[in-house]
Amino acid sequence: MRSSLRLIRASLLAAFVALAISGTAAADLWVGGAEADGEGGAYIGLMGDDLGLIIGAVFNSDYSDSDVRDYPVPHYDYTNLGKKRIGSLVSLDLAYRLIPSRYGSLWIAGGVTFYEESEIARSNITGWLYKQNEDNVIRPDAGIYYELPISESVGLVAGAHTELGGNLGLSFRY
């Protein structure tokens, strides 16, 4: 299951990159931080004249892969901890410049978010954590961004995203 999810992610990323950079004469690089539900995140964007690609992540997992054994508890003396997120949330978005202006541009974005969610159990004998099942979640997301030029080569980007939350960053024209 994991290898097929990686293949889907790589295919979507390649498609978004091809769409984002096709036919662009100049490009902006966006780099910024995000905050969702009190958790930190980051994003990077490659923006063409009217299309762009934004890749973001929120580091809000309940457990990392190394904290949890990748198989069910091998006995019946355990406590079910419920569904928990394993690892970070990753977002891939295609962005479109809706309102271009020399005084700032309004961008809208849409794409997909990936994360792993598992039913977690703690062994009452060893205290170790186990995945009782695993669910790779893929769901749609959306965002809106405002890019304000500060100089010919640097700008300020502020936005809101359904998964990344509020965000603030810089844009660099090259």
CATH number of the domain to which 124 belongs? 2.40.160.20
The mean-pLDDT minimum among 6-15, 24-33, 161-170 falls in: 6-15
> Above pLDDT 70, what percent of the chain?
85
Average pLDDT, the chain: 87
Band of residue 22 on the pLDDT scale cut at 50, 70, 90 = low
pLDDT at 26: 65
Comparing CA positions, the residue from 92, 97, 131 lying closest to residue 8 is 92
Provide the domain count of the chain.
1
> Above pLDDT 90, what percent of the chain?
67
Could you list the residue range(s) of the whole structural domain that residue 128 is in?
2-173
DSSP structure string for the chain: -HHHHHHHHHHHHHHHHHHHHTT-SS-EEEEEEEEETTEEEEEEEEE-SSEEEEEEEE---SB-GGGEESS--SSS-EEEEEEEEEEEEEEEEEEEEEE--TT-EEEEEEEEEEEEEEEEEEETTT--EEEEEEEEEEEEEEEEEEEEESSSSEEEEEEEETTTEEEEEEEEE-
